[in-house]
């Protein structure tokens, strides 16, 4: 089944690198795409021209397909949508809303559209709007999360839509890929594992914190804002939890988080930075190149399949 997503996106491996604001820049994106996956540029912190400059850098570094992620809540979403059409980007992924109003322009520009959905209802809407595939993202993932786990969400989305489904959330090795495929997914999206790619330009403190993480080290902050975020627990997360217990106003919570992701990514502030990470961080224990990560992930996946068939073939 993964052949469908590889053919659709013109990639070697059925693996998409998750879009992570301040993190998924031209360096990481081009490295993932060069290695056979689909690198995805995050634009949540960029305006239109910033996005265009990053696209130019990616194209200087690779001739392989790549994607641009549009965070639809961004004040620059309209600008970025126009830029990706002008630049004829191969693939667009979207989050935090529906790309419906841009769909006609995307299709006219020959762009494949792959929205992220955290529920069956959203996935069905995206398919109806003309999406080429959909990412079913469970709440195990890092950053902004929904409420349903990957294990529960993926098969329900697979049954509800007739386009390829890409599983995301809680996947960091070949076992996770195999599990997602058994649930009916055509591919996977992985974020946390790529935080420690050598081509990922985040602060070394951030990488070290991911490598040291245990299974219970993440929490979700901002529940009362309606936009919960999964992060590694630290002083900032504990302040969030304290404010939410006091029913602090949303404005106070939003002010606490202002600039926090940048502090973690660029300054290496592990106390008061927002150290976004998926629950699977406990499986991430070494830095590798993007190519090494992809080859290991796919090799493990194929090994699992081969062992399964050997054990169950008469």
Q: Are residues 81 and 168 in the same domain?
A: yes
CA distances from 77 to 51, 68, 80, 103 (A): 11, 12, 5, 13
CATH number, domain at 151?
3.20.20.70
Q: Dump the DSSP string for 260-293.
A: HHHIIIII--TTTS--B--GGGGG----B-HHHH
pLDDT in tens, 57-108: 999 999 999 999 998 888 888 899 999 999 999 999 998 777 888 888 999 9
Backbone angles phi and psi of 92, in degrees to 5: -120, 130
Q: What is the mean pLDDT of residues 305-311?
A: 82
In a domain, 207, yes or no: no
**pLDDT score, position 244:** 85
> How does residue 252 score in pLDDT terms, banded at 50, 70 and 90?
confident
Q: Are residues 252 and 109 in the same domain?
A: no
pLDDT of 3 over the 70 cut? no
Rounded to the nearest integer, the mean pLDDT of the chain is 91
Residue 144's beta-bridge partner residues? 229
Q: Are residues 139 and 253 in the same domain?
A: no
Q: Are residues 190 and 304 in the same domain?
A: yes
Q: By residue range, what is the domain housing residue 250?
A: 218-276
pLDDT in tens, 167-213: 999 999 999 999 999 999 999 999 999 999 999 999 999 999 999 99
pLDDT of 314 over the 60 cut? no
The helix or strand, by DSSP H or E, that contains position 187, with its residue range, turns out to be strand 187-190
Q: Are residues 123 and 152 in the same domain?
A: yes
């Amino acid at each position: 089944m993964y052949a469908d997503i590889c053919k659709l996106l013109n990639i070697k491996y059925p693996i998409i690198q998750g879009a992570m604001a301040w993190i998924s820049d031209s360096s990481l994106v081009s490295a993932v795409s060069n290695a056979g996956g689909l690198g995805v540029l995050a634009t949540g912190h960029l305006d239109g021209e910033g996005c265009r400059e990053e696209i130019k850098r990616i194209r200087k570094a690779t001739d392989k397909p790549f994607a641009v992620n549009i965070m639809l809540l961004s004040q620059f979403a309209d600008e970025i949508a126009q830029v990706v059409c002008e630049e004829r980007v191969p693939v667009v992924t979207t989050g935090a809303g529906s790309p419906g109003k841009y769909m006609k322009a995307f299709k006219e520009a020959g762009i494949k559209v792959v929205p992220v959905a955290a529920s069956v209802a959203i996935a069905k809407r995206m398919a109806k709007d003309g999406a080429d595939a959909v990412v079913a993202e469970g709440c195990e993932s890092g950053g902004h999360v929904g409420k349903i786990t990957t294990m529960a969400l993926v098969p329900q989305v697979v049954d509800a839509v007739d386009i390829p489904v890409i599983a995301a959330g809680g996947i960091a090795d070949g076992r996770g890929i195999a599990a997602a495929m058994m649930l009916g997914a055509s591919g996977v999206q992985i974020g946390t594992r790529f935080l420690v790619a050598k081509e990922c330009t985040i602060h070394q403190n951030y990488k070290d914190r991911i490598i040291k993480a245990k299974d219970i080290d993440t929490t979700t902050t901002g529940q009362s804002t309606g936009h919960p975020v999964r992060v590694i627990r630290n002083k900032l997360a504990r302040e969030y939890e304290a404010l939410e217990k006091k029913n602090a106003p949303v404005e106070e919570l939003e002010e606490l988080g202002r600039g926090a992701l940048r502090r973690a990514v660029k300054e290496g502030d592990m106390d008061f930075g927002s150290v976004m990470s998926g629950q699977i961080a406990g499986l991430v224990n070494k830095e590798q190149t993007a190519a090494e990560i992809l080859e290991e992930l796919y090799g493990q996946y194929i090994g699992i399949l081969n062992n399964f068939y050997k054990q169950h073939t008469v």
